[in-house]
Chains A and B, each alone.
Chain A
């Protein structure tokens, strides 16, 4: 039904609704401020919002903040993109090749539910403390949800769709790239949406374990030095990256799947 316009609420009404909606968040911030003011917690346990924001500003002006953020984003995204390319192509090829399916099916069914992060020390042993090790760990962890989503997505493509394409003269290659991939893309994108936060979590853990530049390394160093402001500043900075990732992924999905009736 077109021509339906929601009545525009007044500014005051909208401000009221906004305040109600964010009341608990605001209350949490007020409580944080009060708890630090009244010294219920020591500044070590809970540094004041002001000191944390000062710390973020200082990190920003010295440039450390941007180096750390950029490195963490680079490692998470590089691993994610490699995992996406490998996962989607392997998943597509597997559905068309019985031999590959025979080999990888049990590997995936055992590998998917395993806590892959345990292999981090092994990867360090093999690849050292450099970016290669961190990115490899991200790939190893992020590839499983993408791979399983691709396989499930291709499997759920209706046979009639493939048959109609063949009937219209599509060859095997065309079927894979022009029919299977787009038809499975809603599920593949869901897999990617699961994998991206995992990539960030793993990148941060790898940095924490191996140290050096990057958000994880900076936070763990702050923690070791009992620098609680640094730790809290890190939490807020990493949350911002996480938030940007989630929003960007949702926007990508909406863009790519404009033809798909979501919900």
Chain B
């Protein structure tokens, strides 16, 4: 059984104070190899929790998640992750950050270095190898984080609102580049976002989630031609965005109301 399979997943979030909250209930999902999936929903719908469970960062307590048939039991280099706030090691330079994962792989030091530089070049950060993250802009930090994750060649790429902290222009550039990278080196991508257009633009399938408790509301086949440079201005794109937005809107309103409870 190849790909990621989620079956009957249920997860309780236990805050330090107060009683547990049901974050996910009865989640079932199959993701094929090299498929680009977006998890879309309002904040608090458990989409990030689902991603963390796939990553093995949180323990699966009821239900199961398998990757290529093997149950997830912890984090591993087969599933790379990119976080919204970059999570670069601030005391390491860009090069040292990218090398961190490679140092844990069996290869010669010279090869590691060569590979790290190649990925830094691919994300357009050549010349910034020896800068610390604090010396980079938000977009550059996220490029560095993506290079670090791609360098260890994970089978699955988990992305937790990776462009959410960037300004609109940078976000758009990064989306285009991510698509280009994905077409060159296809991987299974699970992309968490609350931005409808971002999901429609990037993903092949969009998993729309409902809030409190998080459930899968509907899975939408996008079916657009990602290679088309005029894609975002096409009628099909607008229609698809409208359709997905109509699915999300009710949930967003419900989530808003929930905040006031």
Contacts and interface: CB of A to CB of B under 8 A. Distances in A.
Interface of A: 1-7
B19 interface: yes
A3 B261 contact: yes
Contacts of B18: 1, 4-6
B261 A5 contact: no
Interface in B4-32: 17-19, 21
A7 B17 CA distance: 10
10 contacts: A1-B18, A1-B21, A2-B261, A3-B261, A4-B18, A4-B19, A5-B19, A6-B17, A6-B19, A7-B19
- Main SS of the interface on chain A? loop
A1 B17 contact: no
Nearest to A7: B19
A7 B19 CA distance: 8
The residue in B18, B21, B261 that gathers the most chain A C-beta atoms within 10 A of its C-beta is B18
Question: B interface, how many residues as a size bin?
Answer: under 10
B254 to A, nearest CB: 15
Nearest to B258: A1
Contacts of B17: 6
Given A3-B261, A6-B17, A6-B18, 10 more contacts: A1-B18, A1-B21, A1-B261, A2-B261, A4-B18, A4-B19, A5-B18, A5-B19, A6-B19, A7-B19
Question: Top 4 closest A-B pairs, CB basis?
Answer: A4-B18, A4-B19, A6-B18, A6-B17
A7 B14 CA distance: 13
A5 B17 CA distance: 9
Nearest to B17: A6
A228 to B, nearest CB: 44
Contacts of A3: 261
Contacts of B261: 1-3
A103 to B, nearest CB: 35
A4 B21 CA distance: 10
Contacts of A2: 261
Contacts of A7: 19
Contacts of A4: 18-19
A236 B19 CA distance: 40
A2 to B, nearest CB: 7
A48 B180 CA distance: 77
Contacts of B21: 1
Nearest to A4: B18
A254 B178 CA distance: 48
A252 B21 CA distance: 34
Interface string B193-208: 0000000000000000
Nearest to B15: A4
A3 B261 CA distance: 9
Interface string B37-75: 000000000000000000000000000000000000000
